Chains A and B, each alone.
Chain A
Amino acid sequence: MLSSASRPATTTPKVPVSQFLRIAEHARPSIRLIVDGQAVTALAGDTVLTALLLAGRRVRAGEFGDGPRAGLCLMGACQDCWVALADGRRVRACTTPAEDGMELVTR
């Protein structure tokens, strides 16, 4: 139920395919990453978290069947966004720069 106070949109908004929205700093070189086997484009200077959330709405799966996670504090404090690289290494997505050729596993 949507209340009048919250002024809902008259049409249902399309379900967004990405969590983040890039609104500035577009003029940077492109880099390519592999996320769950799929090629993803990002910009040099993006964090792993930014790259993942511009390409989708998850960073990792909760370990205890509690659904997908996508970080919380974005400043390296909450430790919610640790994600695995394809080679098994683990990185904190919000404080790790995305690198060309990086392979990430979010599932």
Chain B
Amino acid sequence: MTQPRVVIVGAGPAGIRAAEVLVHAGLGPVVIDEQPRAGGQIYRRPPPGFVRIPRALYGFDASRAQALHALFDGLLPRIDHRPDTLAWNVWAGAVHTLHDGTLRRQPFDALILAPGAMDLVVPFAGWTLPGVYTLGGAQVALKAQGCAVGRRVAFLGTGPLLTLVAHQYRKAGVEVVGLFETSDARRLRRGAWSLAADPVRLGRGIAYRARLAGRVPVRHGITPLAALGRDAVEGLRWRDSAGAEHEVACDAIAFGYGLKPETQLAELAGARFAFEPADGLWLPVADAAGRVAPRVYLAGDGAGILGARAAEHAGRRAALATLADLGLDDGAAVPPSPAAARRFRDGLRTAFPFPGHLAAGLADDVILCRCEAVTVGALRAAARETGAREINRVKALCRVGMGRCQGRVCGVAAAYVLAAACAMPVGAVGRLRAQAPVKPIPIGACRAP
């Protein structure tokens, strides 16, 4: 009997653990990853020739990062690892990939998707200026390139990454001109009760923030107003909780409001979606083992944001479910989903709520869709002039979310703008549907058979 073909997309914590379980069961999965080296965003490995020690790159998580890297390297002889490879479509039992200018079709009997997440953002005036980066991006620059995104950096937004990256920058010797938090002290205190489910992570967060607060301005309950500057960032304008406006000089702004799962491949593979009011996001509907469609499994932050440790669990669970569904169950019990991770996530939701209302308050001339340069006003006009109430219809009318990123960046904010414009709950305007290719592919790679 030939071995079932299991394909894993993504080689972060979830993908690595899924590969481990499959290899232990005697399978040799294909692992497709866009990055040159396994580790995912969180445990991203720098390019060859970089010399900083893991402790400098991953902090408290260094041993965990090293363990996962070593685990994956140990699996390499028994898996088909395809780094630098984009999975751009899932169709008819195959993943379609692009590697080094060549398109390829990889059939599967089971597909485990571990595509990870990206920063969740809300646009603000001037956010297309050079110098505005996501928090995740600012961290990648530091970890994987040894660079700061600016000399004087303002940190803006909410969520654990805000404090963490600001701390990492300050520690690296970069001037942090301030930490501008959209959540407020009351919410942070309330969230702490649930965050105590992971006292170590909570403790670190509090310690980082305390260290920052002693050295840089830390403001809560703020509203971002604008990235200032003509050709690049020269400052940040913000409003305090009492309504007064301020400006701070800086040459970079790192911002973000939490993370958003990468769900496009799951959708193309047949996943259904449901609106999750607590996150204000549409998420793929998965069972406890991550099943989203027949023989398609979703694991890690790509399924819903629970963090790296939970992602490792989810990767194992998805692989065990895969084995069971393929009739290769070796009797191993599926580990229960980590309740503590979910309680911790609830704490994050309480402490660092996604400020969707900021989208509703944007001025008409703010660019909403960066790819197509569609303004907030253009979306509102399309809704007003045509009566359109559904986000894909509005996309057809004003091009929001139609560009290179396919609405990955602006889709959530666009839904909030539309919902506010027609006085509907955000869950009622729908979500931008994913279309292939999930990321751009060159025409020249397409060759006649």
Question: A residues engaging B (CB < 8 A)?
Answer: 1-3, 5-9, 13, 15-16, 19-29, 44-47, 50, 53-54, 57-59, 62-80, 82, 89-90, 94-95, 97
Contacts and interface: CB of A to CB of B under 8 A. Distances in A.
Given A9-B249, A73-B136, A20 B52 contact: no
Contacts of A16: 150-151, 251
Interface string B224-235: 000000011010
A46 B145 contact: yes
User: Does more than half of chain A's interface fall in helix, strand or loop, or is it mixed?
Assistant: loop
Nearest to A4: B246
Contacts of A75: 41, 118, 136-137, 140
B152 interface: yes
Given A20-B148, A25-B49, A71-B133, 5 more contacts: A5-B219, A15-B234, A45-B49, A70-B130, A94-B137
B184 interface: no
Interface stretch (B69-77, B318-326, B369-377, B422-430): B369-377
A57 B152 contact: no
A73 B128 contact: no
B449 interface: no
Interface in B121-169: 128-134, 136-138, 140-142, 145-152
A20 B130 contact: no
Nearest to B404: A79
B248 interface: yes
Interface in B384-432: 403-405, 408-409
B118 A78 contact: yes
Nearest to B169: A23
A69 B173 contact: no
Contacts of B231: 57-58, 67-68
B346 interface: no
A2 B107 CA distance: 59
A73 B150 CA distance: 15
Residue among B46, B219, B232, B405 with max Cβ neighbours from chain A (10 Å): B232
Nearest to A16: B251
B181 to A, nearest CB: 14
A50 B130 contact: no
Contacts of B48: 45
B408 A78 contact: yes
Given A13-B249, A64-B373, A22 B146 contact: yes
A20 B133 CA distance: 11
Contact of B51 (A6, A13, A27, A89): A27
B439 A45 contact: no
A70 to B, nearest CB: 3
A72 B128 CA distance: 8
Contacts of A67: 128-129, 231
A54 B245 CA distance: 32
A75 B6 CA distance: 26
Contacts of B249: 2, 6, 8-9, 13
A5 B217 contact: yes
Most chain A beta-carbon neighbours within 10 Å: one of B137, B173, B217, B439 = B137
Interface string B174-217: 10011000000000000000000000000000000000000001
Given A9-B249, A27-B51, A69 B130 contact: yes
B133 A72 contact: yes
B373 A79 contact: no
Interface in B26-80: 34-35, 41, 46-52, 56
